[in-house]
Each structure stands twice: as structure tokens, then as C-alpha cells.
Amino acid sequence: MPRNRAIILGVALLGLSVGAVFGQENPSLDTLRLGSRYLRWAPGQEGASPAAAGPSATAPAPIPIATPAPEARGISLPQWEVMAERCNPTLTQAAARVEAARAEGVQAGLYPNPRVGYLASEIGDEKQAGQQGAFVGQEIVTNGKLKLSRQVAEQAIVQAQWAWAVQRGRVINDVRRAFYEVLVAQRTVELTEQLLRVGREGVRAADALRNVKEASRFDGLQARIEADSAQITAEKARNRYAAAWRNLALLAGMPDVPPAPLLGELQDGLAQLSWEGELCRVLCESPTIAEARSGVARAEAALNHQNAERVPNVDVQLALQYDNATGDPIAGVQAGVPLPLFNRNQGNIRRAEAELAAARAEVRRVELELRQRLTAAFEQYQNARCQVEKYADQILPNAQTSLDLVAAGYRQGHFDYVTLLTAQRTFFQVNLAYIEAVRDLRTAAVAIEGNLLSDSLEQR
């Protein structure tokens, strides 16, 4: 068979394989265009920042996921977030701490209980029963201590509520990151499966060319190497998808949820972030700073309470007895107050002053930590954005053009089969690298827009 007919046969076989991969009615090598199918970076697209979590410990009702809409079967990111708010045990713990703080607030506002008892004196005097009776006593709290104690408890409640908001932010951010990790893994599996099918069809095409003496053994071996490498890549992608899904289910508090398709695109909602704007937003909206500032308010209230404790409480007692010797009733009143000669609550006051100083320093520490973490996250964001733009604007189009030129040259006999395989491999690798770059961009954006909160399952 002449060389041109053999080349045409090989191209036809390879074109059929590629067409089967992409579902084209008229398959050809020119249909290997993947970039626009998966992702497109839109620098001008604005995404809404997540709403600042308010100090509340009540999670909304879950959205059913068992029967999604017929036109869109799969689980969306908002559904995962709602499931996490309901099922993640760390949010249950944080809500329980809020309730514990509220209970302490109730206890702090209670007045001391009165005391009642039996009172007897002069028993046996002149062989009489003496004076028998009862007494009632009450500690009178002075200097507004109960009010100050309630103020300390109220600030503790606010701090616990902000701690819940911080933990909710950690959970939501972790779920979002895990969701996009699964989405990346899902897309990577699809792409590597396509690469694997193209590699296998390439082996068949190389064998067909070799059978007609138009390809060498080297070409066949090279095609098998490419196919085997693609199989390894596809297996790694499947393993990565399984691990990413397990991680997402664990963060949502539902480890037994079976894998299912996810609804969403990696590029949806990507915003163009600026350093000045995000720094200002994080310092103003971060619940971590709000929690630290509520700690200052609590420490100030505690110092006021300890200063008030320097004034002792008054203990009042009223007694009523019956004198068995004379038959007369006897009433008595007793009032006492500790003399603050040695204990003027000076130790507790100094401790409260030190705790207030530490709380004020904590606000500054949190601000510096957020700046430090934002610096690292913003560097990752800028690098990833630069990569994504470079891939979208130049690398992906160049890879597509290169593949088109090699495919056309192969048809005309200007390039050998190894060159064609190399161009295909480069094209797929570029698409995989593009997906990874978008993943890095999404991860950094989630961290920045989520006030740099993470690691929700760590013990605190």
C-alpha cells in the first residue's frame, strides 16, 4: 500500500478515536479543544464576599439534597454549607458554649439566698428550757456588685457568640475549599480519562500503521508508553477525587455521604481582589478581631467588678425567741460587716488589671496575625491569578495552535507519529496545569474572602 494511503488510514483511525472521546459527529484532530469547555478566567468578574457572620448560635434548617431538581442533579455549594452548619460537631460545641455562658449570666444576677435557723440560749438556767426561737439572716450586696457581675457575664456571652461566629467561618471556609478541591478532582478525572482514551486509540493507530509497514516498532512502543503514562495519571486522578470527596464529607459532618456529582464551576464568582481593599475589609469584618475586642470589654467589666469587691457586704440577722423562765417573747437584731484590714481584694484587682492588659494586647496580636496571613494568602492569590491569566491568554491558545499545526502536518506527512503524540501530551498537560492554577486561585480567594479562617476540626 502506498505511503499516502497508509497515512490516511492512520489519521482516519486516530480521528475516529478522538471523535469518540469528544462526541463529534465528524471527528477529526481539529476537535481537540478543551480549554473553553472547562474553565475561563474572567478578570473583570465581581464576586460577592461572604456575609459577615453575626453573633448567633442558631443554625438554619438544612436544604434537602436527596431529590435535587430534575434539570440539575447534583449537590451545590450552598447545600454543603447548610449541611455543615447542621452536622459539623464543632459548631454544636460552640453553640453549647454560648448556652453555658448564658447560664452563667443567669447565675451571676441572682441575689444571695436568705438563711434561716434555730436559735437557743440560757438552756438549763434555773432548770428551765431557756430562750428558744428562730432567726432569719440575709447578706446585703453592696456597691452595685450584682449589676457589675451581670455585666461581666453579658460580655462573656458576647465573646462566646463571636467565638461561634469564628468557628462557623472556619467550617464554611473549609467546606468551600474542600468543595472546589472535589470540583477540581472531578474535572481532572474527566480530562485524564479523555487523555487515556486518546492514548489507547493512539496505540491502535500505531499498530495499524505498523501492520501496513508505515510505522516502526519505535512508534508503537512510544504510543504504549504514552498510554501507560496516561493510565497512571488517570488512576492518580481517581484516587485524588476519592480522597477529596471523603474530606468534604468529613468537614460537613456527614462522612457516609456517597460520592455524587457537584454543581458549580471553578471560575464562578471569582473576584478581582486588591490588597488595600481586602486588608481594610478583613480588619473591619473579621469575627476573630470582634472576639478579641469582646474579650477586652469582658476584662474591663471584670476589673470594675473586682474594684467593687473592695467594699464588703453587710450581713443582717433577725431573731425571735420565747423566754421560758419569764414567759416573754424576745426579739433580736444583728448586723455585721467585715473590716477590710488585711484583705482588700488587692490580689484579684491586680489579676484583673493584668488580664485587661493581656486582652488589649490580644487585639493587636490578632490584627498582626491577620496581616501576616493575608500577606501569604495574597501572594498566593496574585501568583495564581498571574498563572491563570497567562494560561488563558497565551499558553492554552498556543498549545491548541501547536496541536492543530502538528495534526495538519501529520496529515501531509511532514511530522511523524511521535511528534503528534508529543503535541497531544503537551496539550493535555497544559489543560491539567491550567486546572491546578485555577484551583490555587480559588483556594487563595476563599481564604481571603473568608477572613483567613481555616482548620475547623482542630481542637480548641
User: By C-alpha distance, which of 140, 49, 131, 102 is closest to 448?
Assistant: 49
- pTM exceeds 0.85, yes or no: no
Q: Note down the domain range covering 261.
A: 3-110+166-293+367-449
Residue 76 in domain: yes
Residue pointed to by grid coordinates 497567562: 390
Residue 124 in domain: no
In this prediction, residue 398 carries a pLDDT of: 93
pLDDT tens-digit profile of 210-228? 677 666 677 677 778 878 8
Taking residue 67's Cβ as centre, other Cβ atoms within 10 Å add up to 7
Q: What's the mean pLDDT in 286-295?
A: 97
Residue 343 in domain: no
Between CA 180 and CA 77 the distance in angstroms is 9
pLDDT band per the 50, 70, 90 thresholds, residue 453:
very high
Q: Output 140-146 pairs: Cβ under 8 A, ≥24 positions apart.
A: 140/313, 140/314, 140/315, 140/316, 141/111, 141/112, 141/313, 142/311, 142/312, 142/313, 142/314, 143/308, 143/311, 144/308, 145/305, 145/308, 145/309, 145/313, 146/108, 146/109, 146/111
- Give, as one character, the DSSP assignment of residue 325: T
Is residue 279 pLDDT above 60, yes or no?
A: yes
Contact 300, 349 (CB under 8 A): no
Between CA 78 and CA 48 the distance in angstroms is 14
In this predicted model, which residue has the larger pLDDT, 326 or 55?
Answer: 326
- Which three cell numbers mark 270? 471569582
- Mean residue pLDDT of the chain comes to 82
Residue 302 in domain: no
Residue 311 in domain: no
Residue 200 in domain: yes
Contact 181, 439 (CB under 8 A): yes
pLDDT tens-digit profile of 103-122? 999 999 899 999 999 988 88
Between CA 206 and CA 200 the distance in angstroms is 10
Residue 313 in domain: no
- Type of residue at 154: E
Provide the 3-class DSSP secondary structure of residue 258.
coil
Could you give phi then psi for residue 330, rounded to 5 degrees? -130, 130
Q: Count of domains in the chain?
A: 1
Between CA 106 and CA 84 the distance in angstroms is 31
Residue 331 in domain: no
Q: Supply the CATH number for residue 238's domain.
A: 1.20.1600.10
The helix/strand count (H/E) of the chain reads as 11, 6
In this prediction, residue 11 carries a pLDDT of: 35
Between CA 257 and CA 270 the distance in angstroms is 28
